[in-house]
Amino acid sequence: MKRRISILGATGSVGTSTLDLVERHPDRFEVIALTAATNAAALADCARRTGAKLAVITDERKFDELRDLLAGSGCRAATGHDAMLEAAAGDAEWVMAAIVGCAGLEPVMAAVEAGRTIALANKEALVTAGWLMTDAAKRAGATILPVDSEHNAIFQCLAGNSHDGVAKLILTASGGPFRTWTKADMDVARPEQALAHPNWSMGAKISIDSATMMNKGLELIEAHHLFGLSSARIDILVHPQSVIHSMVEYVDGSVIAQLGSPDMRIPIAHALAWPERITTRAETLDLIKIATLSFEPPDEQRFPSLRLARAALESGKGEAIVLNAANELAVAAFLDRRIAFGDIARIVERAIEETDAPAPSSIAEVIDIDQSVRHKVGESLSSLVA
């Protein structure tokens, strides 16, 4: 039986890597639905190549273009909120959640509530919805498989071991393109410098998050929700080669690590075929060529986003929603050249200081907090000229 899959965010970096694997293994996967925000041409191309049944575009202005591009293909073009939820919770049993940002939250929740297996790349959805999502997954019998390379590594390191024996999780971080830069140099860094990640090829938002190290902060919160450990038992370790993707330390002193080339097709393949394994086109790890693996402590002075994310998690309230929304807006403003690199963390910190967000008891409350922060931060950013 082929696995019936949907890919939310099919035209992005993770979506494209997922399609690469699906097309390599046509005997194993049947594509049901694909989605994108605005890129109708790429979406139609993916839908035609894979024989998808449904293609959903978020931007309604692009619907006519998508429908025309898919004419005669047998793939239905659609747009709108309900169509997105259909892509997430319709006929597919396995869903790749690869939309970027909190925009992915509602589709992910629809898949969770429908009891699907969700390969979760869209970390912002889990960061904002936290226990609401993991509790809903338990109730609905949904399975959440981590795709982020660090969490996928931890998932693999935990397999076959008693979770009671876990002492701590060690999330590795490359340190990003500014690992060795001074704070003064980083303050005036340009978008093209921040986008130039030394090891990974990724979408723009996560690349900027890697440069500020907010990505690792979001991953800390993600790890807490996925694996149920307190912030105090999740360490961050800078490892510039990105060969060890994360580790689990057990109470007996054993440390289990997962290694691989820095290629997202490896963790995606793991989630795609789980509990089996499939081949990928990723480069095989050559440890003799790499020769040295090095480690450093993270620097929260130069990378304040790490401190902000840990504090947001420890607040036990809705601070992670505020942190995420303010960060999404600040990153977009930086990419538009409206603010300096150093302003990103300052904007996030100010939003947290100025917002008292209670712990949400429903997804509607998460969306309310997210929208009110976007409104407030958006207003202060709109006065800046691009």
Ligand X SMILES: NC(=O)c1ccc[n+]([C@@H]2O[C@H](COP(=O)([O-])OP(=O)(O)OC[C@H]3O[C@@H](n4cnc5c(N)ncnc54)[C@H](OP(=O)(O)O)[C@@H]3O)[C@@H](O)[C@H]2O)c1
Residue number with the shortest CB distance to ligand X?
Answer: 12
Candidate list 202, 220, 247, 320; residue touching ligand X; CB under 6 A = 202
> Smallest distance, Å, CB 149 to ligand X?
6
Can residue 173 be called a binding residue for ligand X (CB under 6 A)? no
Indicate the residue type of 61. Answer: R
Q: Which is nearer to ligand X, 263 or 319 (CB)?
A: 263
Q: How far is the CB of 356 from ligand X (least distance, A)?
A: 27
Rounded alpha-carbon distances, angstroms, from residue 23 to 2, 49, 117, 335:
13, 8, 20, 33
* From 3, 24, 38, 237, residue interacting with ligand X (rule: CB under 6 A): 38
* 331 lies in the binding site for ligand X (CB under 6 A): no
Q: Give whichever of 86 and 148 is closer to ligand X, judged by the CB atom.
A: 148
- Cβ closest to ligand X, residue 58 vs residue 143: 58
Q: Which residue of 31, 46, 47, 103 would you call a contact of ligand X, by CB under 6 A?
A: 103
Distances in Å between the Cα of 4 and the Cα atoms of 24, 213, 273 are 15, 35, 12
Q: Whole-number minimum distance, CB 46 to ligand X, in Å?
A: 10
Each residue 3-32 as x (binds ligand X by CB under 6 A) or -, in order, gives ------xxxxxxx-----------------
Task: Give how many residues touch ligand X by CB under 6 A.
Answer: 28
For ligand X, which is the closer residue by CB, 96 or 157? 96
Give the Å distances, CA to CA, from 59 to 36, 40, 79.
Answer: 8, 9, 7
Q: Which is nearer to ligand X, 254 or 371 (CB)?
A: 371
Give the residue with the Cβ less far from ligand X, 163 or 281: 281
- Identified binder of ligand X from the candidate list 53, 67, 116, 123, rule CB under 6 A: 123
Applying CB under 6 A, which of residues 50, 122, 156, 174 lies at the interface with ligand X? Answer: 122
Decide: is 226 part of the binding site for ligand X (CB under 6 A). no
Q: Using the minimum distance from each CB to ligand X, give the nearer residue, 124 or 370.
A: 124
Least distance from ligand X to the Cβ atom of residue 303, Å: 17
State which residue, 121 or 189, has the beta carbon closest to ligand X. Answer: 121
Cα 330 to its chain centre, rounded Å, is 17
Q: Which is nearer to ligand X, 113 or 148 (CB)?
A: 148
| Site residues (CB under 6 A) for ligand X, limited to 46-85 | 58
Residue number, 19 or 137, with CB nearest to ligand X: 19
Residue 240 interacting with ligand X (CB under 6 A): no
Of 69, 92, 112, 121, the one binding ligand X by CB under 6 A = 121
Distance between CA 366 and CA 282 in Å, rounded?
37
Pattern 251-270, ligand X, x by CB under 6 A: -------------x------
Q: Can you tell me the distance from the alpha carbon of 177 to that of 183, in angstroms, rounded to the nearest whole number?
A: 13
Interaction site with ligand X (CB under 6 A): 9-15, 36-39, 58, 98-100, 103, 121-124, 148, 200, 202-206, 264
